[in-house]
């Protein structure tokens, strides 16, 4: 079974900064609690392609999500 990870980023100081990553569940969903120092107003998730063998798969980036904070 191929393991997938999603990396979470927040927009701060005019650029995207990685705040951490987490493995996805079998159905593709994920969950991660944020520390107070990681809170912001805009977030995105990056899911790198599997890149297995000689096949390079594209990465996926979610749309910019604004928090209700």
Give me the phi and psi of 38, to 5 degrees please.
Answer: -100, -5
d(CA 24, CA 3): 8
- In the chain, helix, strand, coil percent, each to 5? 5, 40, 55
Q: How many helices (H) and strands (E) does the chain have?
A: 0, 5
- Tell me the pLDDT tens digit for each residue of 1-29: 567 888 999 999 999 999 999 998 888 88
- What string of H, E and C letters represents the secondary structure of 19-34? EEEEECCCCCCCCCCC
- Tell me the pLDDT tens digit for each residue of 33-64: 989 988 888 998 888 777 666 767 666 776 66
pTM: 0.70
């Amino acid at each position: 079974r191929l393991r997938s990870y999603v990396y979470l980023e927040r927009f701060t100081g005019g650029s995207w900064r990685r705040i951490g990553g987490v493995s996805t569940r079998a159905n593709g969903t994920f969950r991660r609690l944020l520390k107070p120092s990681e809170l912001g107003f805009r977030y995105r998730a990056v899911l790198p392609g599997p890149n297995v063998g000689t096949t390079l798969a594209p990465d996926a980036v979610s749309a910019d999500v604004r928090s209700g904070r």
